[in-house]
Amino acid sequence: MTELTGMFRDELASWVKEQGYPAFRGAQIFRWIHQGRDFDEMSNLPLAMREQLKDKAVAQPVQIRLQRESSLDGTVKFLFALRDGNCVEGVLMQYKYGLTLCISTQVGCRMGCRFCASTLEGLVRNLTAGEMLGEILAANRWLEASGRSERISHVVLMGSGEPLDNYDEVIRFLKLLREEDGVRIGLRNVSLSTCGLVPKIYQLADENLPVTLCISLHAPNDEARKRTMPVAEAYRIGDILKACRYMIQKTGRRIIFEYALSEGQNASVQDAAELANLLRGMQCHVNLIPLNPVPERGMKGVDEETVARFMQVLENHHVSVTRRREMGDDIEGACGQLRRKTINNATGELTNAEV
């Protein structure tokens, strides 16, 4: 079966022609697909053609298996079902500037960060570009079915997976976002988060795509970072920052550093001062978040006082910093938690309460 969501407009036109149909059908199908439609809904195609296409191709590779809506802030957590039975998570967040969807780029992850639930069972497989786009299309369908007029306008690659470990498909996905007649999400509205795969950061910078790069730093020095992030054995913070400066030079966009505070690990005033020193003079912003404890991992979060103190030190050093809003606290907001809860369910079936 051919997955049509992963094709650029001209590729789809060629494919449709190869199937023996006139090229203009390609443009029609492209439009339908990117509006989240399946073959049955493509009302300007002859019925026989729709039936034939159904046997050969998939128009919508991602379906929503369950969703949970936060009563606190309207955040919606989705469990997306892929065609092979695997599931990944996505989160829809409402900000003043629009609707943001956090998407997954891999089923599982092989980076092994100690605080993260997504990596507990390692990497299962990469997502295709068509599946990543499919997550957006599924969320847009959900919005439409909920009677809402807004559609996803911003995307963050911060769900399960390491985007730069699935490089080619992620780049193809980014380029799909700006196709004519597509979802038309400008790359300035896209943030890509990485644990810091240095050679891939250079490669990304050379693509000249104006995405915002986010670095999961989580420690002020290499020794501390090695305690929680195995990737720190491969790449030093100094080299990550060098690659970041190259990215800034290429895109003109500031870098976001993510820093999850954990009691006894990285949250002291000394840690803050060391971090400030590291980032001094760099065109960047620090996003602080109290670590969301994952039961399997045994790492602690921090109280508000600790966050405030840490923030103050950075501000005193003129480092731009915010405390990230925790969204959907009541709906298993942390990476990989909802999927794990679901696959841990002995029967594999979902209970009514969850649906």
Enumerate binding residues for ligand SAH (CB under 6 A): 111, 113, 115-116, 158, 162, 193-195, 216, 258, 260, 289, 291-292, 294, 334-335
Closest CA to 187 of 168, 167, 213: 213
The CB-of-111 to ligand SAH minimum distance in angstroms stands at 6
Give the residue with the Cβ less far from ligand SAH, 294 or 327.
Answer: 294
Q: Given 89, 131, 169, 258, which residue is catalytic?
A: 89
Tokens, residue 58: 């998939």
Min dist CB 323 to ligand SAH, Å, is 12
Q: Quick one: how far is CA 154 from the chain centroid?
A: 11
H-helix segments, 123-197: 129-145, 167-177
CB of residue 157 vs ligand SAH: minimum separation in angstroms?
7
Which residues, listed in sequence order, are joined to residue 2 by a DSSP beta bridge? 57
Nearest distance in Å: CB 245, ligand SAH: 19
Least distance to ligand SAH, CB of residue 346, Å: 24
- Residues 87 and 74: their CA atoms lie apart, in Å, by 22
Closer residue to ligand SAH (CB): 52 or 287:
287
With 0-12 / 13-18 / 19 or more C-beta atoms within 10 angstroms meaning exposed / middle / buried, residue 56 is exposed
Is residue 162 annotated as part of the catalytic site, yes or no? no
CA distance 129 to 106: 11
Q: Exactly one of 102, 116, 195, 335 is catalytic; name it.
A: 335
CA torsion, points 286, 132, 38, 75, in degrees to nearest 10?
A: -30
Q: 5 or 104: whose CB is closer to ligand SAH?
A: 104
**67 vs 292, beta carbon nearer ligand SAH:** 292
Handedness of CA 157, 162, 163, 166 (dihedral sign): negative
Choice between 60 and 306, CB closer to ligand SAH: 306
89 is catalytic: yes
Catalytic residue IDs:
89, 335
